[in-house]
Structure 1
Amino acid sequence: MNEKKRKLIEAGMRLFSAKGYHHTSIQEIASSAGVSKGSFYIYFESKEQFITTAIHHFYNQMTDKMKKISKAKLDPKESLEKQITTIIEYIYTYKDFIIMHLRENISVGEQTDKMMEHMQISSFQSMRENINRIYGEEVNEMIVDVVIQMEGLINTYSKWIVIDDIHVDREKIGAFLVRRLDNIVTGMLQDKEVPLTFLPEKYNRILSSGEEFDPVVAIMKTMKEKILSMEPGTEKVKKLLDAFQLLEIELAKKERQPIMIQGLLAHFREIPEVQQECEQLAKEMKIELLK
């Protein structure tokens, strides 16, 4: 990540934690990061996009550490213990930021909803892999129930840490919760439990395709939905859909031509319904919109 962008994110998270989202200005974020207000708008078009990126940054930092632990040559139970410890450490580190996010009514938009969905699915996949490494195929039939119960334990402790300010021994919680996982799995196997639930179809689809969160894909999806919700069958909508199809083709190429994308986005720039998505795509692609 660009150094200026990283400094902006870290400064913003500190200010949001101390003052709240709605009481922190873009100028204050820029000043705290030691950059100009104009530099903020090079990387983010709004405070809403900024906090979405900050959440993603927070999540990526945590998951990168967990991936390193997962790839290390550790006993599977020890690996999961250390990953849980990492989660709890991050909860304590960013507790004020999380409280702020829960307390304030922040509009984050459709792309953030999509990102959060992918985070949840990625979290499920990681926990499933950990459980499979520990218990093998024996637990496959009830893997969704086991993941739900284990995530429930971690999430509940996290909630109590954030909301009720309880103290947890960070060095012991990983091993403690993995022992609870042993109790859960052993009990279910001994009782020959029948699974209560199965993996939702959207999880199967995304996991089988290896799909990752791509902001460009999310923006394009929103843009298409907005175009289709306009006056159907009109010449205006037909032309917009033609331009949209060409834009999709260009964005799907391995070697995209910025000048082509720039020209195609010109069709959408003055359309109020999709102006926001047009500007978001330009920022993601690092191109200037034609005037």
Structure 2
Amino acid sequence: MNEKKMKLIEAGVRLVATQGYHNTSIQEIASEAGVSKGAFYLYFQSKEEFIETAYRFFHTEITQRFNRVKQENHSPREILEKQLTILIDYIYHYKEFIIMHLRENISVGQHTDKLMRQMKMENFHWLSESIQNIYADKVEELIVDAVIQFEGLINGYFKWIVIDNIHIERDKLSAFLIRRLDDIVHGMLTAKEEALTTIGRIPREYLTENKTSEQMISNSLIKLSEKIKKLDENPAKIKQLQEVVDAIEKEADKNKTRPVVIQGLLAHFRGFKEMQDECEQLASVLQVELLH
């Protein structure tokens, strides 16, 4: 990401974390970042888009690091522990962002609300897949209860660290949380607990394994189309870029996408700074590297 854009995100997140979203102006964000208000609008069309970009950036960063861990030769337990370590390092490094997320119960626009929903669903799939990989079919009937309890445990510690600033030996926290997951699962199995809730009772949108990825691709393509229409380009260029969006959609719908094709299509948007976020999101979800 462009250095100046990253400065704007970090500065804005600090301000929103302390002052609140509605009490923070674009001028304040620009001043905090040491740039002009006009420079803000080079990267973001509105404060809503700024917030969405911040969420998208941090979410994409974590997702990429999680995926790299999954590609390494580790056991399911080791993978989850390493991913938790990534999350813990993240909350210490980007504490202001976590504070903003925890304190700001806001609805700033349709795109941001959808992104937050997608992130929540991805978190459910991450935890349910991780727990099932560790305990196999032993936990199948209790998987939703296990996810709810483990997610609550993680969030509880994170809130105490971020909001109340308590000291925890961070290098021990991941292994500690995994042992508590053992207690949760083995405790339910030993007591022969019946599930309080099941897969069939949670919202249907959680049930399709690739639903969140499909939604993120769809939303990114919609935003690309919207931005293409606003470009100060000749009609032929506008038409060409829209055809590229259509081609990406067709390629993404295939059972097996071709990375080289996706890379080539996304390369058409090089030089359009206002479309960089959507291109980075698509590259992350489709697991390709952007060509520079």
TM-score calculated relative to the size of structure 2:
0.67
1:184-263 → structure 2 map (5 Å cutoff): 184-199=184-199, 200=202, 201-205=204-208, 207=210, 210-213=213-216, 214-216=218-220, 253-254=246-247
Counterpart in 2 of 1:60?
Answer: 60
Per-residue deviation, 1:124: 0.9
Per-residue deviation, 1:216: 4.7
Paired amino acid for 1:132: Q
The alpha-carbon distance between structure 1 residues 137 and 285, as it changes in their structure 2 partners (threshold 3 A), is: same
State the distance in 2 between where 1:178 and 1:120 align: 21
- Stretches of structure 1 lacking an aligned partner (at least 5 in a row): 221-248, 257-282, 287-291
Counterpart in 1 of 2:51?
Answer: 51
Per-residue deviation, 1:103: 4.2
- Stretches of structure 2 lacking an aligned partner (at least 5 in a row): 225-241, 250-273, 278-292
Query: Structure 1 vs Structure 2: percent identity of aligned residues?
Result: 53
State the distance in 1 between where 2:102 and 2:128 align: 27
Per-residue deviation, 1:93: 2.1
State the distance in 1 between where 2:248 and 2:94 align: 39
Per-residue deviation, 1:5: 2.8
Q: Which piece of structure 1 moves more, 62-71 or 126-135?
A: 62-71
Per-residue deviation, 1:135: 1.1
Counterpart in 1 of 2:143?
Answer: 143
C-alpha contact (below 8 Å) 2:121/2:212 kept by paired residues: no
Counterpart in 2 of 1:134?
Answer: 134
Please tell me whether Structure 1 or Structure 2 has the larger radius of gyration of its CA atoms: 1
Kindly provide the CA deviation profile for residues 131-179 of structure 1, in whole angstroms up to 9, marking residues without a partner as x: 1221112222221111111111101111111222211111111111101
The alpha-carbon distance between structure 1 residues 218 and 162, as it changes in their structure 2 partners (threshold 3 A), is: farther
State the distance in 1 between where 2:219 and 2:37 align: 24
Per-residue deviation, 1:113: 1.2
Q: Which piece of structure 1 moves more, 96-105 or 109-118?
A: 96-105
State the distance in 2 between where 1:255 and 1:121 align: 24
TM-score calculated relative to the size of structure 1:
0.68
State the distance in 2 between where 1:142 and 1:255 align: 39
Counterpart in 2 of 1:166?
Answer: 166
C-alpha contact (below 8 Å) 1:48/1:107 kept by paired residues: no
State the distance in 2 between where 1:136 and 1:45 align: 47
SS in 2 for 1:195: coil
State the distance in 2 between where 1:22 and 1:185 align: 42
Paired amino acid for 1:204: L
Kindly provide the CA deviation profile for residues 111-133 of structure 1, in whole angstroms up to 9, marking residues without a partner as x: 21111110011111111221122
Paired amino acid for 1:122: E
State the distance in 2 between where 1:12 and 1:194 align: 46
State the distance in 1 between where 2:114 and 2:248 align: 26
1:86-105 → structure 2 map (5 Å cutoff): 86-103=86-103
State the distance in 2 between where 1:122 and 1:29 align: 30
Counting matched residue pairs gives 234
C-alpha contact (below 8 Å) 1:9/1:54 kept by paired residues: yes
C-alpha contact (below 8 Å) 1:49/1:108 kept by paired residues: no
State the distance in 2 between where 1:139 and 1:113 align: 32
State the distance in 1 between where 2:176 and 2:212 align: 35
State the distance in 1 between where 2:16 and 2:89 align: 20
Paired amino acid for 2:8: L
Paired amino acid for 1:6: M
Per-residue deviation, 1:212: 3.5
State the distance in 1 between where 2:101 and 2:150 align: 24
Paired amino acid for 2:118: H
State the distance in 2 between where 1:197 and 1:217 align: 35
The alpha-carbon distance between structure 1 residues 4 and 128, as it changes in their structure 2 partners (threshold 3 A), is: same
Per-residue deviation, 1:181: 0.8
